[in-house]
Amino acid sequence: MENKNQPITFVFWIVAIILGVTLYKQFDFHNLKFENPAMAVIYSIVFVFSVYYIIKNSKKK
């Protein structure tokens, strides 16, 4: 059963890293705003979901 969840967790790790970097790059630290706020909301929701999934699966072990 652990082998079945491991590839999925790996995919969520990759998604979380990519979205985290993207959110960081799009944030303007001088004005404290995102370049594209609508996409930042979508990226944030998916980022939080992927981190939640990673944490939830790591607690099961």
The per-residue pLDDT for range 2-59, each reduced to its tens digit, is: 566 788 889 999 999 999 999 999 999 999 999 999 999 999 999 999 999 999 988 7
**pLDDT recorded at residue 2:** 55
Could you list the beta-strand ranges (E) of the chain.
27-28, 33-34
Give the pair of three-digit tokens for residue 41. 């909301």
**Containing domain of residue 40, as a range?**
5-60
Model's pTM, two decimal places? 0.83
For the chain, how many structural domains are there in total?
A: 1
